[in-house]
Amino acid sequence: MDINVLKTTAQAMVAPSKGILAADESTKTIQKRLEKIGVQSNPETNLAYRQMLFTTLGVEEFISGVILYDETIRQSIDGQPVPQYLQSKGILPGIKVDKGAVDMANFPGEKITEGLDGLRDRLAEYKELGAKFAKWRAVIAIGAGIPSDTCIESNAESLAQYAVLCQEQDIVPIVEPEVLMDGGHDLARCQEVTKKTLKAVFAKLTAHKAILEGMILKPNMVISGKESTVKAIASEIAKATVETFKEVVPAEVPGIVFLSGGQSPDEATENLAEINKIGGPWQLSYSYGRALQDEALTTWVGKEESVPTAQQAFYDRAQKVSQARSIKSV
């Protein structure tokens, strides 16, 4: 383990005015996304879509890294392996390494993320393929009687084991404990669960001797549930989010890259701007999937002639999100 490599990579991932593009949709997820626009998913069309994003002229001004899926990290663009192509643009290649969330035995409505088996060997291979960072997502649902302590603790343990296995390979772990927006809970309930989840995660990271300066946190914003009758406004979301994170996230962590978690592109952009108006001891950035991609995807619709306008849509949104994270605290 080279602590200096980990620190340097982590700092580059949250470089000023930049954030991370999550393009690590699983085979099933990308299939659903493409089907919605009338495009059949296969390795070729999946690459065509992602190539449209990655080759957007000048987007490296706003994108520091891209999270890839196993299929994509093995593909090529213009004769170059995707990781090398991204690096030629000054963009760090990363890789999703978890194997998805499955139902947790004896805990209805709760999930546990799989993928620790064989992870050390897979990380060694991904390092050879060019990955500089990795991602592991745990999902925490809010509902009647959930989340349970067992669910939170089990997912926190897996995140910590994943993180130290990454650091062993000089790969920066993105630690992603996502408290889901699904449900009718209010802002206060999300804040309570987010705080409890993050406390558990950092307790486990500390127990496993993870290098906090060589990791990135990818959490949800503190936000009311999608079905909530009381919708929090952006300033309320920002206040609750920063308040929570200042209480539980160590200052040694170089950056927090928020997930969009089902927010619209405009919502995710506005909320990030409000969060940065308050600020904190870490870089407050973004690692958005749909919030960065949706406008480009619906413009592209699988047509070669639509690539220039789709790339413009992607560039424009990336620029807006970059500006949102560049707002100085007051």
Class of residue 328 by CB neighbours under 10 A (exposed 0-12, middle 13-18, buried 19+) = exposed
Specify whether 25 is catalytic: no
- Residue 143 is given by DSSP the state B
User: What is the CA angle 75-166-51, rounded to 5?
Assistant: 20
Active-site residue identified among 135, 195, 218, 320: 218
* pTM of the shown model: 0.95
- Where in the chain are the domains? 3-325
Q: Which CATH class is domain 3-325?
A: alpha beta
Q: What is the pLDDT of residues 33-65, one digit of tens each?
A: 999 999 999 999 999 999 999 999 999 999 999
Q: pLDDT-based confidence at 326, cuts 50/70/90?
A: confident
Active-site residue identified among 110, 157, 176, 274: 176
The DSSP code sequence of 48-95 is HHHHHHHT-TTGGGTEEEEEEPHHHHT-EETTEEHHHHHHHTT-EEEE
Q: What is the pLDDT of residues 70-98, one digit of tens each?
A: 999 999 999 999 999 999 999 999 999 99
**How many Cα atoms sit within 13 Å of 123 on the Cβ side?**
25
Report which residue type is found at 192. Answer: E
Query: Which among 170, 250, 176 is positioned nearest to 7, based on CA atoms?
Result: 170
Specify whether 218 is catalytic: yes
Chain centre to alpha carbon of residue 147: 21
pLDDT(330) > 60: no
In angstroms, the Cα distances linking 149 to 107, 110, 146, 178, 306 are 11, 11, 9, 15, 48
Average pLDDT over residues 194-210: 98
Class of residue 102 by CB neighbours under 10 A (exposed 0-12, middle 13-18, buried 19+) = exposed
Query: What pLDDT is recorded for position 325?
Result: 92
Report which residue type is found at 85. Answer: Y
